[in-house]
């Protein structure tokens, strides 16, 4: 028999202004449960969590908390006022039976000493202090609203491990897909004021959500009702994009393989070939770059080539110098030594620069058109502003809405629309995923996949890096940066570990001992004859496929081919798809065998 719930919300109603936010929402939390609370920005997730925490009274419905059950809540914006130091703030959240040593250990695990003054904390430090305060009592129920915001990768991975070890129940709101997938065992979807529950983790949620929306559309069609505008928005924001996923994955794989070919240890020839490429193809060249801040060296003897179409993620712990390296690469910060050259005709756009330019009193349409009629120029071509708005999940009725009345997620989409409309061939994104909902992240991923230029981004979102990047620049420590082909998971495979995570403090004897290397999978003592033969012959096979692909692409580039020979057009299109798939498989097999050879030689 299932245990009774520790926390129960039923038929919750809440109105913000004249708009009903919650209209019958429910939440049930059983002992030890792991629940992801999801929904688009503005749907009322944080409001529901505040009601669950007892910080906000609903206008209708009931809230029940089991007598004696302990509950802790992490808001999006923790308030540390009234406490002189971080340790004072954390200790004030402990009960008589709670262990203060655990609180101090959590602070160390999160990279804080406890002596920091609360008035001078950064957003990330305040979030770490609030996490320590919420985790220290080991409550029966832990409610966390965007716990990974403003945290770096070491802190996110440390937090992930800490939450996985807890015995209490957990309710999570987060835009970090990987974080949700690894920690959740059930998913609660808040949509149009009501909740629907899936008794499976977030990893299976998006496919289930699409099924639910399709069933709703069928039922609405049978009844002859018009589908609500929110459903239309969400369906086209999810289902339509999902159908293009396979194309995007294939294109990303091809881009990653091209980058692998340029940065392998034996790739001196590739580096020279890239340097000899046409001026439009070579976007950034860095040679022997070094940069220090005082006594601390953040970049040491770094070299790279970034070509047109690359999507490069810059990854490392806070303080590793990610933004410094980014600013050096785009020419906004001079290195102490070495050279950085930008290619010709570089037109750069950044989301940060555009954020300050949003006028809260200007309408959404005027913001996009700059007040010049009803046309938006995108890639040198005019688009009607309504159609362009709909590409970014806005509805026509919002064209005259002042920017100041948009939700955070809507403002994020507006920034993306402006950035992608501006003429650019180099897009620079510093933490673009902060405060974006999952639907907006989907949109951003699609836009970056279709973007014809080059992308440089700093992010701590592992899933986003995997879905977008063709290469990773990884902070290896002491100012050293290493270039890896592929996304974050590819980097893990090649490197053997991710960004070094902070851990709970150990005794001095253990802390000073060298960390043992991760035990690698035991490889064969030598390569088989079949593998040796494949490794030797695959380069010729790939070269042949590349030439055939080039010939087919030249044929298909003829705009009149389809009109003259529709059958031939179809045959060549199918042949191109077959050869591209064969090339991708050959490249993947060559990379596997090359890595096996290198591991055996090592």
* Residue 195, H or E segment: strand 194-198
CB 389 within 8 A of CB 417: yes
Q: Is 280 annotated as a binding residue?
A: no
CA distance 258 to 122: 40
Q: Is 39 annotated as a binding residue?
A: yes
CA distance 364 to 137: 46
Q: Is 577 annotated as a binding residue?
A: no
CA distance 490 to 467: 11
Who's near 510: CB < 8 A, 6+ residues apart? none
Q: Is 46 annotated as a binding residue?
A: yes
Who's near 187: CB < 8 A, 6+ residues apart? 35, 36, 38, 197, 198, 200, 201, 202, 204, 205, 208
Who's near 485: CB < 8 A, 6+ residues apart? 256, 257, 259, 260, 263, 470, 471, 494
Q: Is 318 annotated as a binding residue?
A: yes
* Residue 366, H or E segment: helix 364-369
CA distance 524 to 432: 43
Tokens (6 digits) for 384: 């009607």
User: For 91, what's the count of Cα atoms within 13 Å in the CB-facing half-sphere?
Assistant: 11
Q: Is 2 annotated as a binding residue?
A: no
* Beta bridge mates, 25: 12
Q: Is 296 annotated as a binding residue?
A: no
CB 232 within 8 A of CB 239: no
Angle at 218 between CA 212 and CA 223, to 5 degrees: 125
Angle at 514 between CA 510 and CA 518, to 5 degrees: 105
Angle at 453 between CA 457 and CA 445, to 5 degrees: 55
Who's near 601: CB < 8 A, 6+ residues apart? none
Tokens (6 digits) for 357: 């330019």
CA distance 174 to 192: 19
CA distance 457 to 412: 16
| CA dihedral of 204, 206, 211, 216, whole degrees rounded to 10 | 140
CA distance 178 to 183: 9
Q: Is 599 annotated as a binding residue?
A: no
3-class secondary-structure state, position 310:
coil
Tokens (6 digits) for 91: 């200790």
Q: Is 45 annotated as a binding residue?
A: yes
Three-state secondary structure along 490-536? HHHHHHCCCCCCCCCCCCHHHHCCCCCCCCCCCCCCCCCHHHHHHHH
Q: Is 321 annotated as a binding residue?
A: yes
Q: Is 320 annotated as a binding residue?
A: yes
* Beta bridge mates, 454: 426
Q: Is 319 annotated as a binding residue?
A: yes
Q: Is 322 annotated as a binding residue?
A: yes
Sign of CA dihedral 198, 201, 202, 207: negative
End-to-end CA separation in angstroms for the chain: 56
Annotated binding site for ATP: 39-46, 316-323
Known binding residues are 39-46, 316-323
């Amino acid at each position: 028999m299932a245990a009774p719930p520790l926390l129960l919300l039923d038929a919750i109603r809440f109105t913000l202004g004249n708009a009903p936010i919650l209209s019958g929402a429910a939440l049930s939390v059983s002992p030890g449960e792991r629940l992801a609370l999801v929904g688009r920005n503005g749907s009322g997730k944080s409001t529901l969590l505040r009601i669950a925490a007892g910080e906000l009274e609903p206008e209708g419905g009931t809230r029940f908390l089991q007598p004696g059950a302990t509950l802790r809540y992490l808001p999006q914006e923790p308030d540390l006022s009234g406490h002189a130091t971080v340790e004072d703030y954390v200790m004030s959240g402990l009960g008589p039976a709670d262990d203060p040593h655990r609180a101090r250990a959590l602070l160390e695990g999160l990279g804080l000493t406890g002596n920091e003054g609360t008035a001078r904390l950064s957003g990330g430090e305040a979030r770490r202090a609030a996490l320590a305060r919420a985790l220290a009592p080991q409550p029966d129920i832990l409610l966390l609203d965007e716990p990974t915001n403003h945290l770096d990768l070491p802190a996110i991975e440390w937090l992930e491990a800490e939450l996985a070890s807890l015995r209490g129940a957990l309710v999570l709101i987060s835009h970090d897909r990987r974080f949700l997938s690894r920690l959740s065992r059930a998913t609660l979807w808040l949509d149009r004021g009501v909740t629907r529950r899936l008794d499976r983790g977030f990893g299976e949620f998006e496919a289930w959500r699409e099924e639910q929306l399709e069933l709703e559309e069928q039922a609405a069609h049978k009844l002859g009702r018009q589908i609500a505008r929110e459903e239309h928005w969400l369906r086209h924001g999810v289902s339509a994009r999902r159908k293009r996923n396979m194309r995007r994955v294939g294109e990303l794989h091809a881009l990653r393989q091209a980058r692998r070919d340029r940065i392998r240890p034996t790739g001196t020839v590739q580096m020279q070939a890239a340097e000899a490429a046409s001026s439009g193809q070579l976007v950034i060249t860095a040679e022997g770059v070094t940069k220090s801040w005082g006594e601390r060296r953040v970049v040491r003897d770094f070299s790279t080539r970034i070509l047109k179409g690359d999507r490069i993620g810059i990854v490392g712990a806070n303080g590793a110098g990610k933004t410094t390296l980014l600013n050096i690469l785009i020419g906004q910060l001079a290195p102490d030594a070495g050279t950085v050259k930008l290619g010709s005709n570089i037109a750069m756009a950044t989301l940060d620069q555009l954020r300050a330019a949003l006028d809260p009193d200007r309408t959404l349409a005027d913001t996009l058109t700059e007040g010049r009629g009803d046309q938006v120029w995108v890639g040198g071509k005019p688009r009607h502003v309504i159609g362009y708005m709909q590409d970014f999940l806005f509805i026509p009725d919002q064209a005259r809405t002042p920017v100041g009345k948009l939700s955070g997620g809507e403002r994020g989409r507006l920034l993306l629309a402006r950035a992608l409309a501006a003429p650019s061939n180099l897009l620079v994104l510093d933490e673009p995923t902060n405060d974006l909902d999952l639907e907006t992240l989907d949109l951003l991923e699609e836009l970056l996949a279709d973007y014809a230029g080059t992308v440089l981004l700093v992010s701590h979102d592992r899933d986003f890096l995997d879905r977008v990047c063709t290469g990773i620049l990884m902070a290896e420590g002491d100012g050293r940066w290493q270039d890896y082909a592929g996304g974050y998971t590819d980097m893990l495979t090649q490197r053997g570990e991710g960004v070094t995570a902070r851990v709970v403090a150990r005794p001095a004897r253990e802390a000073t001992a060298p960390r043992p290397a991760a035990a690698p999978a035991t490889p064969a003592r030598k390569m088989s004859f079949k593998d040796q033969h494949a490794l030797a012959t695959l380069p010729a096979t790939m070269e042949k496929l590349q030439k055939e692909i080039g010939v087919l692409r030249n044929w298909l580039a003829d705009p009149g081919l389809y009109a003259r020979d529709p059958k031939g057009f179809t045959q060549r299109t199918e042949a191109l798809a077959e050869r591209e798939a064969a090339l991708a498989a050959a490249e993947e097999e060559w990379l596997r065998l090359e890595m096996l050879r290198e591991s055996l030689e090592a």
